[in-house]
Amino acid sequence: MRLANALEYRLPLGGFVSFLHRVSGALMCLLLPLVVWLFDASVTSEISYERFRSAFDAGIGVVPAVLVKLVVLALIWSYLHHFAAGVRHLWMDVTHHVTKEAGHSSALITLAVSLPLTAALGAKLFGAF
């Protein structure tokens, strides 16, 4: 009976954005070894930079390039969302502007900033321009 009630509950947009803020932080933490490897491979030497570039063209070992790009896209989203939602939380903390309407509108702004930026960088990552 309790599970049915939990599944029927509709989280407000502000709560959903806060939940995604936690998810994006956890994702960045989990992908930190990949970020360190990508940075190391891109700045060590010209040869390692070519290996870095080939990861996006040919993949890494048995991992295809599309999967590498999807993981990097997830990292891009997590960074952009976490940054925008963090600014939202800081703004709410500093101004004490914590009404239901302000939470909803700031959540909309957070999504309106992070999602189009993610789409634009994802298009660049997948070679749209």
Query: What does the alpha-carbon distance between residue 34 and residue 26 come to, in Å, rounded to a whole number?
Result: 14
pLDDT at position 18 is 93
Percentage of the chain lying above the pLDDT 90 cut: 65
Give the pLDDT confidence of 60-77 residue by residue, as tens digits: 889 999 999 999 999 999
Residue 60, SS3 per DSSP:
strand
User: What is the tally of structural domains in the chain?
Assistant: 1
- Indicate the pTM of the whole model: 0.86
Q: Between these two residues, 10 and 123, which has the higher pLDDT value?
A: 123
Give the pLDDT confidence of 21-45 residue by residue, as tens digits: 999 999 999 999 989 988 988 899 9
Residue 6 inside a domain? The answer is no
Tokens, residue 106 = 């700031």
Residue 102 inside a domain? The answer is yes
Domain extent, residue 92, equals 13-125
Q: What is the CATH number of the domain that holds 27?
A: 1.20.1300.10
